[in-house]
C-alpha cells in the first residue's frame, strides 16, 4: 500500500494529527502546497473549518490534483461542532467520481481553548493520540 498525507493547518492541530498518522503509515505529512506526483492507494487529506466556511485551500488542492493518481481519498479534520470539512471533501469526491473512504476522522475541539482572537493549542491526550493512531492503522492492511 502506498500512502500520502496532505493537510492545511493554521494553528498546528491539523499538522499534529497529520504527523501522528504519518508516523503510523511510514510517510511524511506534507502541506497542501505539495502536490501528489505519483500514484497512491490512499490520500489522507484534511484541514479545519475557518469562520464556519469551507476550507478553500482543500478545494483548490483537490481541483489541481491529477485524480487518476489517487486510489482513494481519506478525509480527516480538526474542527468544532460546526465543521463540514469532511462533507466538503466527500462532495468533491462524489462530484468528480473519485473513491472516498467510508472511514473518516474528525477531531472535535468544541471551541476548546477559545481566545478573543482565535484558538490556542488544545491538549493531545494519550487517548486522543491512540485514537489517531488506530484510525491510520486501519489502512495499513487494507
Boundaries of every domain in the chain: 3-137
pLDDT in tens, 113-138: 544 334 445 578 899 999 999 999 99
Is 3.40.50.1370 the CATH classification of the domain at 3-137? no
Give the full edge-to-edge strand order of the sheet including 29-31. 29-31, 3-7, 40-48, 70-79, 105-108
SS3 (DSSP) at 99: coil
Average pLDDT score over the chain: 86
Please state the pTM of the whole predicted model.
0.88
Amino acid at each position: 500500500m502506498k500512502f500520502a498525507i496532505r493537510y492545511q493547518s493554521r494553528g498546528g492541530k491539523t499538522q499534529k494529527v497529520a504527523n501522528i498518522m504519518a508516523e503510523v503509515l511510514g510517510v511524511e505529512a506534507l502541506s497542501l502546497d505539495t502536490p501528489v506526483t505519483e500514484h497512491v492507494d490512499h490520500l489522507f487529506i484534511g484541514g479545519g473549518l475557518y469562520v464556519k466556511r469551507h476550507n478553500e485551500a482543500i478545494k483548490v488542492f483537490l481541483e489541481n490534483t491529477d485524480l487518476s493518481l489517487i486510489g482513494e481519498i481519506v478525509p480527516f479534520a480538526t474542527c468544532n461542532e460546526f465543521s463540514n470539512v469532511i462533507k466538503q471533501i466527500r462532495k468533491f469526491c462524489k462530484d468528480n467520481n473519485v473513491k472516498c473512504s467510508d472511514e473518516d476522522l474528525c477531531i472535535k475541539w468544541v471551541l476548546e481553548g477559545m481566545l478573543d482572537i482565535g484558538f490556542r493549542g488544545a491538549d493531545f491526550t494519550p487517548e486522543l493520540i491512540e485514537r489517531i493512531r488506530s484510525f491510520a492503522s486501519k489502512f495499513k492492511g487494507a
